[in-house]
Every structure is written in C-alpha cells, then in structure tokens.
Amino acid sequence: MDHSKEITIYDIAKNLNVSPSTVSRALKDDPTVSKKTRKKIFETAAQMGYRSNPFAKNLRQQQSLTIGVIVSDLDSPFISSVVSGIEKAAGEAGYGIIITDSSQSAVKEAANAQNLFHRRVDGMIASLAPDTKDLAHFSPFVEKNIPVIFLDRTSEMAESTSVVIDNMQTGYMATKHLIGQGCRRIAHVTSDLQHNIYALRYKGYRDALAESKLPFEESLLVIAEPTEEASEAAAKKLMGLKPMPDGVFVTNDFAAAVCIRTFLEQGVRVPKDIAVVGFNNEVIGRLIKPTLTTVNYPGREMGEAAARSLVNHLKGAGNIGSISTMTIRAELIVRQSSLKK
C-alpha cells in the first residue's frame, strides 16, 4: 500500500465492500450502523492509516476554527507573552491560531491581513504597526462580518473592541511614585509620541507633574527608540542637563536598563542621584543591579482576554460589538532603582 496517499472514506468503503455513507456514519459512532460493522470499520480505518479531516468538515460548515493574529514585533518579550495568552485561550476553546509579524511595517501589516483573509480565518486579533495610518486593509473582514479585535496598539479610527491597559494611568502612577520618593525634577524617556500608547503615558506623566505643581521643561522629554545606542545617548543627554534630573520614567525596561548602566559607568548613583522607573516588567529588570522598578505590562492576560472575547463572540456567547474597550489592570512593581527613601 502507498502510505504517502491520504486514505479516504471511499478507500475504506471499497476495502470492506460497503457504502461510503456507511463508513462516514460509522466513524461518527452513529448507532444506526451496527456495533459489529462499526467495530470492523474502525479497525480497518486504523489499519489503513485513515485520518479524519476536520478542516474539510469545517469548510463545509463555513468555519476554519482558526484565529488570525497580527503583531508588530515577535522579538518583543511583551508581544511573546501576548501571543502565549492568545494561544492558551484559543486552544482551550478548540481554535488554532495563525501568527503573522508585521515587523513594525504598515505595508507588511496590510499584506498579512490580506493573507489571513484569504486563509478564511474566523476572526482576527491585531496589534497595529507604529506607522499604520488607516485601517482600510481590515475592511474585507468588516464586509464579511468577520470580527476583529485590536490589542495594545489600537487606533481611534477602529470601530471595534480594543483590549488595552490604561496607559495614561500608568504614566501618572510611575511619575507619582517618583514624586513620592522625593524627586522634583523628573525626566521622561519615551518613543515616538505619534503612537497612542506613548502619547497617553506622556500625558499621565505631565498630569502627575502638574498635580504636584512640579515644573516641566522640554529638555526633560527625550524621544529615543529603545535600542542600546539610542538609550545610552538619552542617558548621557540627561546627565548633561543643569541641574541633572533626580528621577526618570522610561517607557521600556531594556532602555531603562541601558540608562542605569550608563549612569553607573559615569559615576551617577542609582537611585541616590537619579531614581529610575521602567515599563514592561521584563526579565532584564530583575537581573540588573540595582533591580528595576517597573510597570507590569500584563501581556498574557491581555492576549487571553482578547481571545476569549473573540471566541465567545464566534460561539454566540458574547457580542464584542457591545464593548468598545476592555481595560486590563497594570500595576507598579517597586524594586531598588527608585527607592530614595
């Protein structure tokens, strides 16, 4: 027998000289087929190497039992935790996921959306690329009533459920912690403020300063991508300010770790001379000395919440159209890098 050939119910029927419909019903354990015949068909199917084809069945039912996922950077520990959460919740509900990475490119994001549409996913979870300006590439999903949930990096244009954290509150919380430690000249190192998550964290930072009647100067805001080179340059820029800031809120743990290393190399003591708060709660924050105070970014919980909401909608147990935003709670994890008191 050619074992490379996919065995069908027709092959089993021919082998046993019964009808394909009898084989089909027997493999579903249909009681209208006698126990003896069912047993024989099951044994023959196993011997011949028959595998059921749920994909074909799902297509007949207009389902693929798959969820498309678009993320912006699979190398990010946060995104990896998001995907882990999506996979867990989707898998528990019997859905598989197809993961695509836009590599922070709107063009690639649009291509990924088109690919997932043609692969007949039942629903979509998407975290937008930084340079995404419009959502036209999601229009085919809307037209076919295929639900889309946006996660983390969302858009005000999105007429769909979004799963986020309260970015404004996290910026406020991190800054208020520094103020509570006695910091009075607090800097902010962040990424492009055109991106809503960074703009909201910046607003929270500014609100905390204003509430405590602390001054803000443009020189205290440093826009830098979270790379080693850019983060080192940001730290050096802060050290060059007169007077130097006594606290800094950095919206990325890796960037914060590089800043701490740079401060220490230049003889600036952390937290005595400058207290540091990061963002994401990545492993690096627990490994550096002093350990990093950070905002926990609950990626896994966000992924699980998005997937569960989507699955419930697909199964008719919920309606994502009735919820505009799901906000997952974030918390401050206080460690050594910010404790002046």
C-alpha gyration radius of the chain: 27
Determine the average pLDDT of the residues in 20-24. Answer: 89
Under 8 Å between Cβ of 213 and 228: no
Q: Could you please state the CATH topology (level 3) that the domain comprising 167-297+332-338 is classified under.
A: Rossmann fold (3.40.50)
Determine the average pLDDT of the residues in 312-341. Answer: 86
Mean pLDDT of the residues in the chain: 91
pTM of the model: 0.78
Range 70-91 burial, b when 16+ CB lie within 10 A, else e = bbbbeebbbbbbbbebbbebbe
Question: Which pLDDT score, from 0 to 100, does residue 324 have?
Answer: 77
Domains of the chain, residue spans: 9-52, 64-165+299-329, 167-297+332-338
CA distances from 244 to 88, 184, 205, 241 (A): 46, 11, 18, 5
CATH number of 9-52: 1.10.260.40
- For the stretch 177-217, pLDDT in tens is 999 999 999 999 999 998 889 999 999 999 999 999 998 99
Tell me: pLDDT of 2 over 60. no
Q: Which residue has the higher pLDDT, 201 or 315?
A: 201
Decide if 9-52 and 167-297+332-338 have a common fold: no
Question: Which pLDDT score, from 0 to 100, does residue 187 have?
Answer: 98
Question: Which pLDDT score, from 0 to 100, does residue 119 have?
Answer: 86
Question: Which pLDDT score, from 0 to 100, does residue 1 have?
Answer: 47
- Beta strands 275-280 and 293-296 are parallel
The CATH homologous superfamily to which domain 64-165+299-329 belongs is Response regulator (3.40.50.2300)
- For the stretch 119-131, pLDDT in tens is 889 999 999 998 8
Tell me: pLDDT of 53 over 70. no
Cα(15)–Cα(18) distance, rounded to whole angstroms? 8
With a CB cutoff of 8 Å and minimum separation 6, the contacts of 128 are 72, 109, 150, 153, 154, 155
- For the stretch 107-154, pLDDT in tens is 999 999 999 998 889 999 999 998 888 898 998 888 888 899 999 988
Determine the average pLDDT of the residues in 266-287. Answer: 97
Angle, alpha carbons 194-197-200 (nearest 5°): 85
- For the stretch 220-276, pLDDT in tens is 999 999 999 999 999 999 999 999 999 999 999 999 999 999 999 999 999 999 999
Question: Which pLDDT score, from 0 to 100, does residue 50 have?
Answer: 82
